[in-house]
């Protein structure tokens, strides 16, 4: 025989806040946890207290979530702006500026070549590509996703690459890439970069 739980304001509020707490983000959690502790200490509080508390909890959740979304949108735009700079630098064969997006421990995974680990190895890989006759490159992300923690992000995108063929004529190719960004000392850096042709 099933037993029903007793109906009480404290139980209803406690269960509601517990469900919300389980799905909240880190800033929301920091706000919600003290409120949960307050509920645990005040089991005998009147119904009017909970009627006043629940809207406040909801407001804090909404406010905290809005801050997280705004920060993520700002980080996404920052990364997109960095991509524009990066693509322009590569297209202009500006080696120093192209490599500046990588930290010392980054890895680059070019097609049909070993992994280039570290800025020096990545610089050498870019230098070899830029030295190819007829080199031209442009790329842009189609999707940028920033983590809730705000210190990691990944992007998916496409590129257009041109070099001269054996007859000295421009040979165009298109491809795709995945880039992992990490925030280092407050600045977004490329920690992993992989790309390959569509054909």
Domain ranges within the chain, ordered by starting residue: 95-197
196, β-bridge pairs: 176
Q: What pLDDT is stored for residue 21 in this prediction?
A: 45
In this predicted structure, what is the pLDDT of residue 146? 97
* Three-class secondary structure of residue 175 per DSSP: strand
Report the pLDDT value the prediction gives residue 73, as an integer from 0 to 100: 76
This model's pTM is above 0.75: no
Walking along the chain (199 residues) 10 residues at a time, the average pLDDT comes out as: 49 45 48 56 57 60 51 88 98 98 97 96 98 98 96 98 96 97 97 96
Rg (CA), the chain: 26
Name the 3-class secondary structure at 185.
Answer: coil
pLDDT of residue 94: 98
Chain mean position to CA 67: 16
- Give the angle 118-119-123 at the CA atoms, nearest 5°: 125
Please report the pLDDT score of residue 116 as a whole number: 98
**Which residue bears the tokens 């735009």?**
77
Q: Which residues pair with 156 in a beta bridge?
A: 143, 178
> What class is the 95-197 domain?
alpha beta
């Amino acid at each position: 025989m099933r037993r029903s739980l007793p109906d009480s304001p404290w139980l209803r509020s406690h269960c509601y806040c517990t469900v919300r707490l389980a799905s909240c983000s880190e800033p929301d959690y920091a706000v919600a946890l003290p409120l949960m502790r307050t509920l645990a200490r005040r089991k005998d509080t009147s119904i009017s207290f909970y009627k006043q508390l629940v809207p406040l909890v909801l407001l804090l959740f909404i406010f905290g979530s809005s801050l997280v979304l705004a920060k993520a949108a700002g980080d996404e735009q920052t990364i997109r702006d960095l991509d524009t700079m990066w693509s322009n630098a590569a297209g202009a064969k500006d080696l120093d500026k192209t490599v500046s997006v990588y930290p010392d421990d980054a890895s680059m995974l070019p097609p049909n070549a070993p992994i280039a680990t570290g800025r020096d190895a990545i610089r050498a890989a870019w230098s070899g590509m830029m030295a190819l006759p007829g080199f031209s490159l442009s790329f842009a992300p189609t999707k940028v996703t920033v983590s809730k923690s705000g210190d990691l992000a990944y992007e998916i995108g496409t590129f257009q690459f041109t070099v001269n063929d054996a007859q000295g004529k421009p040979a165009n190719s298109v491809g795709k890439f995945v880039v992992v960004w990490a925030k280092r000392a407050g600045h977004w850096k490329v920690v992993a970069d992989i790309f390959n042709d569509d054909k």
